[in-house]
Amino acid sequence: MTDRTQRIALYADIVQRMSGALRAASLYSIAHPSVAEHVRALLEAVRRLHRVESPVLVGFIGAR
């Protein structure tokens, strides 16, 4: 996998993991194990990207 392709895949994974964490948080209480599992997966995805590219910049656009 090329460097650029690898970074794009890592960023795509972060977006997917963040979506899952937000979805779980909207469905369950913050103390629910599913929310913790999704947040841990998001953190691991950020760590994987950070090993390849440092610093990691995350931005949010829009009202949601």
Residues 1-56: pLDDT tens digits? Answer: 678 899 899 999 999 999 999 999 999 999 999 999 999 999 999 999 999 888 88
pLDDT of residue 42: 96
User: What letter does residue 31 receive in the DSSP assignment?
Assistant: T
User: What letter does residue 57 receive in the DSSP assignment?
Assistant: -
Distance CA 53, CA 39 (A): 21
Q: Which residue has the tokens 């993991």?
A: 17
pLDDT at 64 over 80: no
